[in-house]
Amino acid sequence: MNKDINTKYDFNKDAVLLIDKGHHKIYWVGTSSSEAFKSNIYLIKDKREGIIIDCGSRSEFQNTLKRIKQVMPIRYITKIFVNHQDPDVTSAMVDWLELNPDIEIITSPNTNVLIQHYIPDGKEYRYFNTETNPTLTLDSGAVLEFIPSPFMHAPGAVTIYNRHTKTLFSGDIWAAISLEWKLILEDDFDKHKEDMDFFHKGYIAANKANRNFLINFKDREVTNIMPQHGSIITQENVYKAFEYLKDLKCGIDYLRDISDEELSFIVKGKNEIKN
């Protein structure tokens, strides 16, 4: 992926072409927010079909529509992938389903039970279960693999590995928060680690979750990582990104061990009613 992308586009309004494989293209289509905590929305255009990866906040919906219209008719959007239930990356599904109730929502069962609460009047939508269908073959022949990333940070979080482009849509993993945002990472990776630290140490459950996720990439080549927040990590930094997660302490790794002695006030049978 060319770093020219960072200077070639107007990030306030353009759809940004990231990967072009003829019948299979990947675009960045948002966000317009100038805050440090901004969410990336991606679009896969496969032949005539459009799949949105993490459709973003309701406040982004109109901007996302405008960007997508630059590259394809909105009626060809048939699927929305949901990494996990957080409103900053998911709540616009309400608006998308209002526009087209036939859109299929792709996510894990654990996430699906929660996102139903976004929908007014409990209306049903078409659901693609990533646990029972771990892959999806698109019209062009490109295969998307759904790789769970439990507790990173949501229990039902699931990522996409695009076999055709070797792209990993990683959700909140490798998410970064910074005011000096660039879509394609240019800075040296050590600086980027600082931008990722806040999010990972605070949100990801534990180092064990990182390692359980990383093992998935023993035999899968990844040439670029597209997270929900922050910058896209290109090939030269992919292994540095793996290394970063491998030993990073996160979440409950920072909690202290509480001994039985400290908890001795919890006495067995204390609440039993005595006659």
Using the rule CB under 5 A, is 86 a contact of Fe ion?
A: yes
Site membership for Fe ion, residue 172 (CB under 5 A): yes
Please report how close the Cβ of residue 201 comes to Fe ion at its closest, in angstroms.
14
Site for Fe ion (CB under 5 A): how many residues?
A: 4
Binning the chain into helix, strand and coil, the percentages to the nearest 5 are: 30, 20, 45
Nearer Cβ to Fe ion (84/164): 84
Q: Which residue from 235, 229, 238 is spatially nearest to 181, judged by alpha carbons? A: 229
Distances (CA, A) of 57 to 106, 161, 216, 218, 224: 17, 23, 29, 34, 24
Q: Which is nearer to Fe ion, 175 or 184 (CB)?
A: 175
> From residue 181 to residue 220, what is the string marking binding to Fe ion with x (rule CB under 5 A)?
----------------------------------------
Binding mask 222-251 for Fe ion (x = CB under 5 A): ------x-----------------------
Nearer to Fe ion, 91 or 224 (CB): 91
Smaller CB separation from Fe ion, 89 or 144: 89
Site string (42-71) toward Fe ion, x via CB under 5 A = ------------------------------
Q: Which is nearer to Fe ion, 86 or 195 (CB)?
A: 86
Cis, peptide link before residue 23, omega less than 30° from 0? no
Nearest to 184 by CA among 233, 223, 222: 233
- Secondary structure (3-state) at 135: strand
Shortest spacing between CB 28 and Fe ion, in angstroms: 15
CB of 267 to Fe ion, least distance (A): 39
CA distance 210 to 150: 9
Order across the sheet with 135-137: list the strands.
Answer: 135-137, 143-148, 158-162, 167-171, 224-227, 233-234
Task: State which residue has the least CB distance to Fe ion.
Answer: 86
Crossing angle between the packed helical segments 207-214 and 235-246, to the nearest 10 degrees: 140
User: Is there a contact between 65 and 28 (Cβ–Cβ < 8 Å)?
Assistant: no
| 107 is a contact residue toward Fe ion (CB under 5 A) | no
Q: Which of these segments, 14-22, 69-77, 80-88, 248-256, binds Fe ion (CB under 5 A)?
A: 80-88
C-beta of 60 vs 172, nearer to Fe ion: 172
* Beta strands at 135-137 and 143-148: parallel, antiparallel or unpaired: antiparallel
Stretch that binds Fe ion, among 82-90, 95-103, 133-141, 192-200 (CB under 5 A): 82-90
Nearer to Fe ion, 46 or 54 (CB): 54
**Distance separating alpha carbons of residues 38 and 89, to the nearest angstrom:** 10
What whole-number distance in Å separates Cα of residue 149 and Cα of residue 144?
A: 15
Residue ranges that bind Fe ion, judged by CB under 5 A? 86, 89, 172, 228
